[in-house]
Amino acid sequence: HIYWSDAKSQRIEVATLDGRYRKWLITTQLDQPAAIVVNPKLGLMFWTDQGKEPKIESAWMNGEHRNILVSQDLGWPNGLSIDYLNDDRIYWSDSKEDVIETIKYDGTDRRLIIN
């Protein structure tokens, strides 16, 4: 499957690689979704929203169990990456604040990596 965010339609979607079986996963409370990453092993997806109220969220890969992980002290969170080796951290870049930060998958243990 391929997952993507669409800032114009304010959605997160999924489809099979041939484009069939397209489905809208997240369609509410999105302003400007940007980066998205998935961890198929754990069945989780994470995304950034750099709209009026920037945030980083997670959900199961089917769109259920949505959770806001970070909503404080964000500018334009745009780059996003997962620590696949340890399955426990996500990393993001913030182009407005000029930082790279990390948190655990549950939103705890926020750390500044580069300022």
Q: Rounded to the nearest 5°, which phi and psi values hold at 51?
A: -80, -150
Residue 96 pLDDT exceeds 90: yes
Q: Does 103 have pLDDT greater than 90? A: yes
Residue in 48, 61, 51 with CA at minimum distance from that of residue 100: 48
Report pTM.
0.94
Domain that holds residue 89: 2-114
Q: How confident is the model at residue 76 (pLDDT cuts 50, 70, 90)?
A: very high
What CATH number does residue 90 fall under? 2.120.10.30
Provide the number of structural domains found in the chain. 1
The tens digit of pLDDT for each residue in 30-52 reads 999 999 999 999 999 999 999 99
Ordered DSSP codes for 36-63: EEEETTTTEEEEEE-SSS-EEEEEETTS
